[in-house]
Amino acid sequence: MPKNREQATALESPEPREAGPASAGADPEILAQASGLEGVPLEDVDLDRLQRVAFITEPRGPAADRFRFLRLRLLESQDQKSRRRLLVTSPLPQDGKSTIALNIATAMADAGKRSTLLIDGDLHHATVSEQLGFQDRPGLAECLQAGLDPMRAVLRLGPLACYFLPAGKPDGNPTELMQSGALSGVMAALAAQFEWIVIDSPPLAPFTDTLSLKKESDGSLLVVRAGRTPGEDVENAMSLLGREHVLGIVLNGVDGLDRLYSKYSKYYKSKS
């Protein structure tokens, strides 16, 4: 990842396309057994719900390649062994952080090569849970407010080869729930089971939940939308997270990268 926060990875939000087959990998059942997670229930998510997952819609396209690059930078990080819990947030709503988090989790799982858990930590607006169709399943909220064993709420997403903890349904104020003190125990229990944990958190404004989740993560990715997120809000977000905690900035919605990729793709095909 970028060592200093002035650098950023540019991404375009994957546009909905006709769903195609996921990239090939090892047998997910064998991989689950090898990681001791064979008891986690398998859920086959409808491909229509995965239209913004680049590895499903266009696994050889530019968006998937940029997430592979992001994965490479995370794995190459000198201290990656101590940075296995990754917080994905944004300065403002509608910056695209949930789509980015879902794609990062899929990339880190790499067709099941790494046990990777995606947590929907946005108890105010559970975008990922709704997108995947698990908005009514118990999840993080029930773990925090009722002491549910988090592994009993975790699901295995067949098409993505990663695992998922839905947001659940908070009974009271989500912010107070995050600050209740139970979060640390839940995260410790999950960290013992998975190689990588990706947390989709609320935006930094107007909520403070992200600061509670930050304490349980090892580093942050800040998602900003090109041409939309004001620089002042980016600076405020950096200050709230702490520059030493921000591993990099993901610049989302950059125009023109698809055309550049297509140009060079045609060039290399002509040389082969």
pLDDT tens-digit readout, 85-108 = 999 999 999 999 999 999 999 999
Q: What pLDDT score does 76 carry?
A: 84
Q: What is the pLDDT of residues 203-262, one digit of tens each?
A: 998 889 999 999 999 999 999 999 899 999 999 999 999 999 999 999 998 775 555 444
Q: Can you name the CATH fold of 8-14+31-271?
A: Rossmann fold (3.40.50)
Alpha-carbon span 98 to 120, nearest angstrom: 9
Residue 8 predicted with pLDDT over 60: no
Q: How far apart are the first and last CA of the chain?
A: 32
**Which pLDDT tens digit goes with each residue over 125-156?**
999 999 999 999 999 999 999 999 999 999 99
CB 14 within 8 A of CB 96: no
For the chain, give percent helix, strand, coil, nearest 5. 40, 15, 45
Domain ranges across the chain: 8-14+31-271
